[in-house]
Amino acid sequence: MEKVDKIKHSYIEFFLENGTAPASIFSFTKKLKMKEIEFYDYFNSFELLESDIWLGFFKETISKIEADSVYGTYSVREKLLAFYYTWIEVLKENRSYVSQTWKLIDKRKLKTPVFMTDLKVAFKEYTRDLVMEGKESREVQPRKYLDERYPDAFWLQFLIVLDFWVKDKSKGFEQTDAMIEKSVNTSFDLISSSALDSVIDFAKFMYQNR
């Protein structure tokens, strides 16, 4: 793992200094004084390397929140709040890289960036587990078919939180903390009560009587 960490650190450093990925794996490994074939023992491309870097941020976040004995006693709403707060703390350590990478994305395209593919899978699995737990504890209202889409909604929320944090200029990112609290509370207020059902019924009525 030491070599993997070295590759990741060197890539992030190069990216920050040059604003782009290295021209080739050959030139990158040459700078690291390692054979190109050694790079392929861990990654097949820079895209996969970037994906692993972002997935690493997620794994570190999960590791930190699960290491806290109190986390297991939280409601699902509190667990997601804890995730987001810890996620931002993890990203702070690499804010320059995260911000620069995020700003290069064309937000007009709906397709998930390659470097976020593995992260998206892991995050949706995490929120899917939260939804299941919430349904068992009655914190989440069971809704046939619709509740299967909640992880997709939480992924959208995840991206909105990330974008807000990258643009946040408040001291200590206080505005991001406030945004996280309001966003998570609003989402759980909707999926845990009859409010969403009322919205859906009204939407159906308007559609049928348009």
**pLDDT tens-digit readout, 121-162:** 999 999 999 999 999 998 888 887 888 899 999 999 999 999
Question: What pLDDT is recorded for position 197?
Answer: 57
**Other beta carbons within 10 Å of 8:** 17
Q: Which amino acid is at 143?
A: R
Question: What pLDDT is recorded for position 146?
Answer: 82
Question: What pLDDT is recorded for position 144?
Answer: 79
- Calculate the dihedral angle through the C-alpha atoms of 21, 25, 27, 32, rounding to the nearest 10 degrees: 90
Give residues with Cβ within 8 angstroms of 123, minimum separation 6. Answer: 58, 154, 155, 158
Question: What pLDDT is recorded for position 1?
Answer: 64
| Token representation of residue 58 | 């997620």
Percent of the chain predicted with pLDDT > 70: 89
| Nearest Cα residue to 86 out of 189, 177, 202, 203 | 177
Indicate the pTM of the whole model.
0.88
Answer yes or no: are the C-beta atoms of 49 and 8 closer than 8 Å.
yes
DSSP per-residue string spanning 53-105: HHHHHHHHHHHHHHHSGGGGGS-HHHHHHHHHHHHHHHHHTTHHHHHHHHHTS
Answer yes or no: are the C-beta atoms of 163 and 156 closer than 8 Å.
no
Question: What pLDDT is recorded for position 189?
Answer: 84
Answer yes or no: are the C-beta atoms of 180 and 165 closer than 8 Å.
no
Please tell me the distance from the alpha carbon of residue 153 to that of residue 89, in angstroms, as a whole number.
Answer: 23
Question: What pLDDT is recorded for position 106?
Answer: 64
Please tell me the distance from the alpha carbon of residue 94 to that of residue 97, in angstroms, as a whole number.
Answer: 6
Regions of the chain where pLDDT drops below 70: 1, 106-110, 193-207, 209-210
Please tell me the distance from the alpha carbon of residue 32 to that of residue 59, in angstroms, as a whole number.
Answer: 26
Write the pLDDT tens digit of every residue in 171-183: 999 999 999 999 9
The total number of residues written for the chain in this structure? 210
Question: What pLDDT is recorded for position 122?
Answer: 98
